[in-house]
Structure 1
Amino acid sequence: MVTIRLFVASLLSICLVQAYSQDLMMWYDKPAARWEERVPLGNGQIGMMPDGKVHDESIVLNEISMWSGSPEDPNNYNAHQSVGRIQQLLKEGKNELAEQLVNENFVCKGLGSGLGNGASVPYGSFQNFGYLNFLHTIEGDVTAYKRTLDLSRAVATTTFKAGETTYLREYFTSFDKNFAVIRLTATKRKAITFATHFYRDENISDMRVTTDDMTWSGNLPDGFAGKGMAFAGKVKVLTKGGTKLVYDNQIIVKQADEVLIYVALSTDYSRHDPVQANAKMLQAAKRWRYRTLLAQHQKNFSAVFDRVSLQLDDVQRKMAEPTDVRIRNFFENPGQDNGMAALYYQFGRYLSIASTAPHVKDALPPNLQGLWAHEIQTPWNGDYHLNINAQMNHWGVESGNLSEYHRPFIDLIKRLAVSGTKTAKAYYDAPGWVVYMMTNVWGYTAPGEQASWGASTASGWLCNHLWDHYLFTQDKKYLAEIYPVLKGAAAFYHATLVQDPRSGWWVTSPSVSPENAFRLPNGKTTAVVMGPTIDNQIVRELFESVCKADEVLALQDPFAKQLADRLPHLPPPVVISPSGRVMEWLEDYEEVEPQHRHVSHLYGLYPASFISPVTTPDWAAAARKTLDVRGDEGTGWSRAWKILFWARLHDGDHALEILRQLLKPAFANDTSYDGVGAGTYPNLFCAHPPFQIDGNFGGSAGIAEMLLQSHDGYVHLLPALPKMWSSGKVSGLKARGGYTVDIAWEDGKVKDYKIYGQKGDQVKLLVNGEERLERL
């Protein structure tokens, strides 16, 4: 009866947690029929996604460094010989000829990203680790089915009755030890019988199975017809009661009372032997107590997750509805489930914590898929797109009190600053460093395969993250650490800017407004230009950041003085077109696609802070008109960006409307990109489509931006509060200056607030439309 008492206690604890943290529970009344319905678990290194099927269960396994490909040098070292000619053609207005020359000489060598299908080329691809499959023997009709993910505990469960027996399956990826845990229990003794095996489509070279363990290993392709990343997995099966045997490549468990399964996954990305690492990880498994493992996991996870709480009051709570039903109702019946918005916000924070591990050596940031993938060839290689996507993945970490979860991305930027020096030399014969629109775990910094999307530089945008991390943390030691990286990026731009013959401004050349095109007076369509607005804003922001960093660190760097002297000769952050909108290019070209998904020329509104309803109202009005013409629709991440735009314009109702559209149910089989169909899958993953995690992070960041802003010279409480969110409270949000903020409000007005920070600091606040100066 020990097993039964433990089962009842475990089930009771789950019910108590559900009652205590209802707004943090995702649940479903049926198994997952496709990958986009599975709930994600992860500890920043390994991930798993169970489908919760009663009889034939499948669990997707992932490891953040599971990358094919290998280091390469894709730079074209003759490219700089053509840059002068390209720039001259652009000065003469011959953009189509300049683009032709860029496509011939100013792209990468070799196959690049494989046009987004690079699993077998040197660029590589983030890949699925494999599947752990179960064939359960369950007798009787199944009733009372429920599948859950508790965001507050990072634990998933599947429960159901079969006949008179209740079954409970629990899953988590340990935040205390780097392995996954699966526990199977039932209210009846000897009720657990199953066969389990591991499966992967390719690259497995060794598979061994005993009654206690499954181990496998292999190598991913390096793209050069050789062996690349080594990987290995180990599954340990421990039972109470029953018997175990091996048949073919399966472990078969018969009539057990309880089963514990541990899953260890490793690669040699961090230069250790993955087979030995897994063996060491699980060597003490037989001595571990499940409750101790679970308690330590919850303690470590909750210490981070519980930093922020958010409650948006509802007339009637909707947690009794399955999550997929809530998503549909949130879209179809706006304003009737504010708790869904709070859940979506915390799901974004949950994904940040689950998809990267800042405490681990060589930690990788979340990629386009976070760390979850069910394919060998993930969409767009599951890489790091640097013309918004990898950046959006980190927009919410600072305000969401997850500052250390910025560090793996910052460390990646620092590595790119090293390899990017070769790219700067190759394409411009310039000092400093540069990276273009995509990268991988191997340090790729060259342009893409085509000018229209691959010719936008990203190094300046990446430096926005380096500087913003300092603004939130006020860590001068960190600022000194990243100052050379900021300076190196600025040195590249300073050396490569050219003077526009029409305006006299100094601008980038050649470049593009990410993935967008325009029509020339001769009717031809092209993308390559001098000085697109996003570049002008980024370069100005970068130069200003270097100058401010020099001042904070008291370096008196002569180079900072050179940048300060150049600033007046850069284009202003905003040029307003005759139509009253923010111009996307130096000239008011005819737009080929007026409702293009990228709105890159509003970089100055977000993430930068040049455009403000308070300090630059004319520019804000132009930004508003730009968004009106662009429209509210777009891919998943595009809608998320627009939430942030409208929040920065202090229009919470419009921001909430786009959040509603972001949660448009993507419940059909719309998992292939066709430019439409964006929304949210049943498991709350964002539909680009297919799934891209950036929309989740961007949408979550947008909710925080509606409640707190700190970029305009003061800490602004409830700057874009929608009418629907008239009452609520939030605690633990972060503001620039190193401050932590709690807010409670009623009837749309701040009722109470607390600011925490350095004792003696004076904080400028904007509360209910009034400026206040508060000493801490």
Structure 2
Amino acid sequence: MKNFLSVLLFIISVPSLAQKNDVEIRCKAPARHFTESLPLGNGRLGVMVFGDTEKERLALNEISLWSGGPQEGDRENAHEYLENIQQLLLEEKNREAQSLLMQHFIAKGAGTGHGNGANVKFGCYQTMGDFFIDWKINGATKNYQRVMDMETATAVTSFTRNGIAVKEEVFTDYVNDVVWIRLSAGKKGALNFDMSLSRKENLISKYTAGNALIMYGQLPSGNDKGMQYATVAAPILHDGSMHKTDTSLQIRNASSCVIVIAMQTNYDYKNGGLNAAKNVVATAQKDIQKIKSNFETAKAASTKKYKTYFDRCRIYFPYTTSHTDTMSTWERMIGYHKGNTDIQLPALYFNFGRYLLISSSRPGLLPANLQGVWAEEYQTPWNGDYHININLQMNYWPAEVTNLSDLAQPLFQFTKNLVSNGRKTAHHYYRANGWTAHVVSNPWFFTSPGEGAQWGSTLTGGAWLTTHLWDHYRFTKDKNFLKEYYPVIRGSADFLSSILIQEKQNGWYVTAPSNSPENTYIMPDGFKGNTCMGPTMDMQICRNIFEANISAAEILSIDKSFTHKLKNITRQLAPNQVSPTDSGIQEWLHDWLGAEPQHRHVSHLFGLYPYDEINPWDTPELTKAAKKTLALRGDGGTGWSKAWKINFQARLGDGDHALKMFKGLLQPVAYGDTTSYYNGGSYANLFDAHPPFQIDGNFGATAGIAEMLLQSHGKDEVIRMLPALPGDMAWAKGEVKGLKARGNFTVDFYWEHHAVTEATITAQTPGTCKILLPQGKHLFSKTGKKLHYTTDAFNIATIRMKAGENIVVR
């Protein structure tokens, strides 16, 4: 009877699945692969929980663990070939221009290793290794459940074996900066397991010291020794016994056991190099020794801090008693793909995207990389690096609009840190002012071109990053931030303005040499190439940066002569053009065909999203052409490409098409499935399937859902609620809490029957608020008094608000 009661109490202590369909990732079996495991993270540390009942695996990560190191990636004499390359482009001798570029205008040496840079100077992001729990409990497994709860940032695995209930709880600590694991059994003394650490390469030693496991090593840096790392795992027993071997700890006859894991590298976040004096083992040991709290106290404090981010913004769809309550997330995805109704699945995906950003980005550290902070590889796909021709930027698209602005600080600091190397690259390749960064980067702030014309010579990657600085100001109105980062914006504008050349046909200013990521054109003579001048995306980014610099300088009352220069140049930039051939937006300066009409990059619609120079109310003809471009590109593509298209369709006001793209992104991709390469989808744990796993699709789609519900872009930054709401009845009713609008306004609202019923807008700073009023709605004070405001012919209300003031739309 006593044993039965213990099991019963254990089972009922597991949180109920009901009514948590929008905040839980649920699994009914152990993970067979990384993409079925559950991600936890605190911005620096990452853990993937596999939940195996024989030999549990926790894949470990630390966001700075990179092989490689600083390098001189520039060809110092590349500028000697610039004028010849540009002249060949002006003469439409692109074949010759590209050949010359490939010889003299790419990175020096191995560059990025063509995306396999683990053992060259560029390096790659790597796993810290694995922590294993080898269960010593015999018998068949029953009642298996593995759940990650986004409201508490905790993963819980539970099962019974021989009538004994076993429970594993894991979280990454936002306060103590360690990983906690609690193992418990429903029967006293029934917990038996071995624990160990493992890494497959570049391991110097692993051993037991005192009551802890220690593993440390050093990664390669080309021909040199690179970054040092250490992992320490220490168990805390409440009963039972512990026995040591050389490389494992054996726990026997315990009822519960808490394990604390600390991870350290000797990366120097301040200077972007390595701290040779840092003892990584001793530092990791101190991380554990300084902890004063127990598991429950640490969990409560960590959850409290985590929720200061997670609870800022939520979307809710109505809960109805549903068969999905007891389904795994994978089963829900399969049903959704088949057309079954799952009202809360979009909210789950949205919450998961915000959860991932909170878990992989922390102020003062490196930004989230191609896989956030989670990787199991020693050679991660594409080095797990910072791709800056869209991917890193997409990681942070949800930050401002979903009320996580402060978590974008790593992106801003990273951009600032590129400036020093970027100045050298601008000088070596272009003899230009300012700074530039091309396509890929790393913790050593690589700014050189890549190794190939097809992808490596895009010269606006750094400029694209810089647009986030200006958009952060638009959302926050933080003048101190703008003042701090203005030199970064100016340096980017200075570079772009100093490299422009005039093309012959119209006398427009264009960039050269560059490309349209990562697409191929076909010239009238049949040449298929990449190197070109003035691709549409470059010109859109130029306008974006010049306008940002002009506006920022005016706000700060500085730099009048430079802004005057930028205004003159802006008027002469190559404009957006509508193709006479296909009626879409031209991708290149000339009306050339694309070798791959449905290419995954849709770079020439940067002006539609994330920039806003193409929009339905200011540029209807270009908006029509943008729609045609998307129709020509099709709805296929990789995971992140589909996520971008959600945002495009939302900006066009087509909620039904945006939902179609979202459903395409949620197409289930099973473990081991290689048939869907370049067709996108999602894995069982909701990770974006490029494939392979790339986290940018998760972040891009989260931003896309927000864009369907709230927009505030355009010259007047008008707040538009439900601008792209699907007509699907599953979206007919819902609630938004804490979305952000440009101008530093927080927006909450309810809707029913596809229309806003009531909204509250809060000004975080003083400012003028413009709102597109839903039909029949008016503005009231919080006390119910009707307010005085002006409206125009389009029913856009304008009202001046004080900091902290609330207005109600009713």
TM-score normalised by length of structure 1: 0.96
- How much has 1:767 moved relative to structure 2? 3.2
User: Can you list the C-alpha shifts for 1:655-703, whole angstroms capped at 9, x where unaligned?
Assistant: 000000000010141369x743420000000001100000000011100
SS state of the match for residue 400, structure 2?
coil
**Aligned partner of 1:329 among 306, 311, 335:** 335
> Are the counterparts in 2 of residues 671 and 690 from structure 1 also a CA contact under 8 Å?
no
Aligned counterparts, 1:339-358, within 5 A? 339-358=344-363
User: Can you list the C-alpha shifts for 1:314-337, whole angstroms capped at 9, x where unaligned?
Assistant: 665433211001111112116x11
Paired letter, 2:295: Y
What count of residue pairs does the alignment treat as equivalent? 768
SS state of the match for residue 81, structure 1?
helix
Partner of 2:681: 679
Higher alpha-carbon deviation: 549-558 or 754-763: 754-763
User: Can you list the C-alpha shifts for 1:508-546, whole angstroms capped at 9, x where unaligned?
Assistant: 000000010111111121011110000010001111110
- The CA distance in 2 between the partners of 1:473 and 1:391, in whole Å, is 18
Distance 1:293 1:2, change over 3 A: farther
Distance 1:284 1:413, change over 3 A: closer
Partner of 2:705: 703
SS state of the match for residue 467, structure 2?
helix
> Are the counterparts in 2 of residues 38 and 51 from structure 1 also a CA contact under 8 Å?
yes
Partner of 1:415: 417
- The CA distance in 1 between the partners of 2:232 and 2:765, in whole Å, is 51
SS state of the match for residue 56, structure 2?
strand
> Are the counterparts in 2 of residues 643 and 702 from structure 1 also a CA contact under 8 Å?
yes
> Are the counterparts in 2 of residues 647 and 720 from structure 1 also a CA contact under 8 Å?
yes
Partner of 1:127: 126
- The CA distance in 2 between the partners of 1:194 and 1:211, in whole Å, is 18
- How much has 1:248 moved relative to structure 2? 3.5
SS state of the match for residue 181, structure 1?
strand
> Are the counterparts in 1 of residues 636 and 679 from structure 2 also a CA contact under 8 Å?
no
Are 1:503 and 2:506 counterparts? Answer: yes
Partner of 1:583: 586
SS state of the match for residue 157, structure 2?
strand
- How much has 1:439 moved relative to structure 2? 0.3
Paired letter, 1:126: Y
Partner of 2:536: 533
> Are the counterparts in 1 of residues 152 and 307 from structure 2 also a CA contact under 8 Å?
yes
- How much has 1:185 moved relative to structure 2? 0.6
> Are the counterparts in 2 of residues 486 and 546 from structure 1 also a CA contact under 8 Å?
yes
- The CA distance in 2 between the partners of 1:446 and 1:566, in whole Å, is 26
The percent of aligned pairs where both chains have the same amino acid is 42
Paired letter, 2:636: E
SS state of the match for residue 183, structure 1?
strand
Higher alpha-carbon deviation: 558-567 or 61-70: 558-567
SS state of the match for residue 491, structure 2?
helix
- How much has 1:761 moved relative to structure 2? 3.5
Are 1:512 and 2:515 counterparts? Answer: yes
- The CA distance in 1 between the partners of 2:317 and 2:95, in whole Å, is 52
Partner of 2:403: 401
Partner of 2:807: none
- The CA distance in 2 between the partners of 1:759 and 1:442, in whole Å, is 37
**Aligned partner of 1:234 among 232, 235, 241:** 232
- The CA distance in 2 between the partners of 1:744 and 1:67, in whole Å, is 46
- The CA distance in 1 between the partners of 2:247 and 2:493, in whole Å, is 56
> Are the counterparts in 2 of residues 671 and 687 from structure 1 also a CA contact under 8 Å?
no
Higher alpha-carbon deviation: 374-383 or 287-296: 287-296
Aligned counterparts, 1:406-445, within 5 A? 406-445=408-447
Paired letter, 1:426: H
- How much has 1:14 moved relative to structure 2? 4.4
Paired letter, 1:160: F
Partner of 1:189: 188
> Are the counterparts in 1 of residues 236 and 259 from structure 2 also a CA contact under 8 Å?
yes
- How much has 1:577 moved relative to structure 2? 3.3
| Alignment RMSD (CA, Å) | 1.9
Distance 1:8 1:178, change over 3 A: farther
Aligned counterparts, 1:752-771, within 5 A? 752-758=758-764, 761-768=767-774, 770-771=795-796
- The CA distance in 2 between the partners of 1:304 and 1:63, in whole Å, is 21
- How much has 1:165 moved relative to structure 2? 1.6
- The CA distance in 1 between the partners of 2:10 and 2:543, in whole Å, is 57
Partner of 2:734: 728
SS state of the match for residue 58, structure 2?
strand
Partner of 2:307: 302
Paired letter, 2:633: R
User: Can you list the C-alpha shifts for 1:603-659, whole angstroms capped at 9, x where unaligned?
Assistant: 000000011111111111100010001000000000000000000000000000000
User: Can you list the C-alpha shifts for 1:283-317, whole angstroms capped at 9, x where unaligned?
Assistant: 145x5321101101110111110111111236654
Are 1:280 and 2:283 counterparts? Answer: no
> Are the counterparts in 1 of residues 6 and 186 from structure 2 also a CA contact under 8 Å?
no
- The CA distance in 2 between the partners of 1:245 and 1:593, in whole Å, is 62
> Are the counterparts in 2 of residues 21 and 152 from structure 1 also a CA contact under 8 Å?
no
- The CA distance in 2 between the partners of 1:62 and 1:25, in whole Å, is 22
> Are the counterparts in 2 of residues 172 and 181 from structure 1 also a CA contact under 8 Å?
yes
**Aligned partner of 2:598 among 575, 583, 595:** 595
Partner of 2:201: 202
- The CA distance in 1 between the partners of 2:735 and 2:109, in whole Å, is 54
Partner of 2:788: none
- The CA distance in 1 between the partners of 2:422 and 2:481, in whole Å, is 21
**Aligned partner of 1:621 among 624, 641, 656:** 624
- How much has 1:19 moved relative to structure 2? 4.8
Partner of 2:781: none
- The CA distance in 2 between the partners of 1:435 and 1:23, in whole Å, is 39
Paired letter, 2:478: D
> Are the counterparts in 2 of residues 46 and 63 from structure 1 also a CA contact under 8 Å?
yes
Partner of 2:648: 645
Distance 1:141 1:211, change over 3 A: farther
- The CA distance in 2 between the partners of 1:44 and 1:70, in whole Å, is 22
Distance 1:2 1:440, change over 3 A: farther
SS state of the match for residue 649, structure 2?
helix
Paired letter, 1:399: V
Paired letter, 2:548: S
- How much has 1:760 moved relative to structure 2? 5.8
Are 1:387 and 2:389 counterparts? Answer: yes
> Are the counterparts in 1 of residues 743 and 767 from structure 2 also a CA contact under 8 Å?
no
SS state of the match for residue 542, structure 2?
helix
Are 1:165 and 2:180 counterparts? Answer: no
Are 1:741 and 2:747 counterparts? Answer: yes
- How much has 1:210 moved relative to structure 2? 4.0
Runs of 5+ unmatched residues, structure 1:
none
Paired letter, 1:84: E
- The CA distance in 2 between the partners of 1:329 and 1:523, in whole Å, is 46
> Are the counterparts in 1 of residues 22 and 351 from structure 2 also a CA contact under 8 Å?
no
**Aligned partner of 1:570 among 570, 573, 577:** 573
User: Can you list the C-alpha shifts for 1:120-168, whole angstroms capped at 9, x where unaligned?
Assistant: 0000000011011121012332211100000111000001111222111
Are 1:522 and 2:525 counterparts? Answer: yes
TM-score normalised by length of structure 2: 0.92
- How much has 1:280 moved relative to structure 2? 1.1
User: Can you list the C-alpha shifts for 1:712-737, whole angstroms capped at 9, x where unaligned?
Assistant: 22011110001121110010000110
Paired letter, 1:669: G
- How much has 1:276 moved relative to structure 2? 2.0
Aligned counterparts, 1:42-191, within 5 A? 42-191=41-190
Distance 1:10 1:188, change over 3 A: closer
